Amino acid sequence: MIVMKFGGSSVGTGERIANVARIAADVTERRGTPPVVVVSAMSGVTDALRRAATTATAGDQDTFHLIRDELQQRHKQAIDDCVSDMEHARALRAEIESLLNWFETLCQSIYTLGELTPRGMDVVSGLGERLSARVVAAAMRSQGLKARTVEATEIIVTDNKFGNATPLFPETRERVQRRIVPLVEVGVIPVVTGFIGATLDGVLTTLGRGSSDFSATVLGSALDAEEVWIWTDVDGVMTADPRIVSQARTLPSISYSEVAELSYFGAKVLHPSTIQPVSSRGIPVRVLNSLRPENPGTLITNDAVDEPLVKGITAIRDLSLITIAGPGMQGVPGVAGRAFGSVARSGVSVLMITQSSSEQSICFVVRTVDHSAVVQSAGAEFELELMRGDIDAVTSQDEVAIIAVVGAGMRGKPGIAYHIFGAVAERGINILSIAQGSSEYNLSMVVSHQDVDEGVRAIHQQFGLDRIGGG
Q: Going by C-beta distance under 8 Å and a sequence separation of 6 or more, which residues neighbour residue 263?
A: 269, 270, 271, 272, 274, 275
Return the C-alpha torsion angle 341, 342, 347, 349, nearest 10.
-70
Q: Which stretch binds Mg ion (CB under 5 A): 78-86, 98-106, 206-214, 457-465?
A: 206-214
CA-nearest of 54, 48, 52 to 64 is 52
**Is 210 an interacting residue with respect to ligand ASP (CB under 6 A)?**
yes
Q: Tell the smallest beta-carbon distance from residue 38 to ligand ASP (Å).
A: 9
Whose Cβ is closer to ligand ASP: residue 41's or residue 165's? Answer: 41
Q: Three-class SS string for 230-280?
A: EEECCCCCECCCCCCCCCCCECCEEEHHHHHHHHHCCCCCCCCCCCHHHHC
Could you say which of 195, 265, 364, 463 contacts ligand ASP (CB under 6 A)? 195
> What backbone torsions phi and psi does residue 3 show, to the nearest 5 degrees?
-105, 130
In angstroms, the CA 169 to CA 163 distance is 18
**Is 4 an interacting residue with respect to ligand ASP (CB under 6 A)?**
no
> What backbone torsions phi and psi does residue 206 show, to the nearest 5 degrees?
-120, 155
| 223 alpha-carbon distance from chain centroid | 22
- Minimal CB distance to ligand ASP: which residue? 212
Q: Which stretch binds ligand ASP (CB under 6 A): 66-74, 205-213, 219-227, 305-313?
A: 205-213
Q: Which stretch binds ligand ASP (CB under 6 A): 20-28, 116-124, 206-214, 361-369?
A: 206-214
Could you say which of 9, 10, 28, 46 contacts ligand ASP (CB under 6 A)? 46
Which residues 109-128 are close enough to bind ligand ASP by CB under 6 A? 128
Name which of Mg ion, ligand ASP, none residue 194 binds, using a CB cut-off of 5 to 8 Å depending on partner kind: ligand ASP
Whose Cβ is closer to Mg ion: residue 197's or residue 210's? Answer: 210
Whose Cβ is closer to ligand ASP: residue 84's or residue 276's? Answer: 276
Could you say which of 193, 212, 253, 442 contacts ligand ASP (CB under 6 A)? 212
Could you say which of 11, 27, 37, 41 contacts ligand ASP (CB under 6 A)? 41
**Is 274 an interacting residue with respect to ligand ASP (CB under 6 A)?**
no
CA-nearest of 57, 180, 191, 186 to 112 is 57
CA distances from 168 to 127, 172, 175 (A): 22, 6, 11
Q: Going by C-beta distance under 8 Å and a sequence separation of 6 or more, which residues neighbour residue 258?
A: 304, 311, 312, 406, 407, 408, 441
Q: Which stretch binds ligand ASP (CB under 6 A): 179-187, 210-218, 326-334, 393-401?
A: 210-218
Q: Are 251 and 470 in contact (CB under 8 A)?
A: yes
- How many alpha carbons lie under 13 Å from residue 201 in its C-beta half-sphere? 3
Whose Cβ is closer to Mg ion: residue 269's or residue 363's? Answer: 269
CA-nearest of 6, 35, 4, 40 to 146 is 35
**Is 210 an interacting residue with respect to Mg ion (CB under 5 A)?**
yes
In angstroms, the CA 429 to CA 426 distance is 7
Strand ranges for 112-156 from DSSP E: 147-150
**Is 194 an interacting residue with respect to ligand ASP (CB under 6 A)?**
yes
Q: Tell the smallest beta-carbon distance from residue 203 to Mg ion (Å).
A: 24
Whose Cβ is closer to ligand ASP: residue 194's or residue 312's? Answer: 194
In angstroms, the CA 425 to CA 346 distance is 36
In angstroms, the CA 158 to CA 218 distance is 11
Q: What is the DSSP string of 166-234?
A: -B-HHHHHHHHHHHHHHHHHTT-EEEEESSEEE-TT--EEE--TTTHHHHHHHHHHHTT-SEEEEEESS
Site pattern 340..379 for ligand ASP (x: CB under 6 A): ----------------------------------------
**Is 7 an interacting residue with respect to Mg ion (CB under 5 A)?**
yes
Q: Which stretch binds ligand ASP (CB under 6 A): 39-47, 249-257, 305-313, 460-468?
A: 39-47
Whose Cβ is closer to Mg ion: residue 215's or residue 342's? Answer: 215
Could you say which of 40, 193, 320, 444 contacts ligand ASP (CB under 6 A)? 40
Q: Which stretch binds Mg ion (CB under 5 A): 208-216, 322-330, 349-357, 375-383?
A: 208-216
Name which of ligand ASP, Mg ion, none residue 424 binds, using a CB cut-off of 5 to 8 Å depending on partner kind: none
Applying CB under 5 A, the residues found at the interface with Mg ion are 7, 210
Applying CB under 6 A, the residues found at the interface with ligand ASP are 7-8, 40-41, 46, 128, 194-195, 209-212
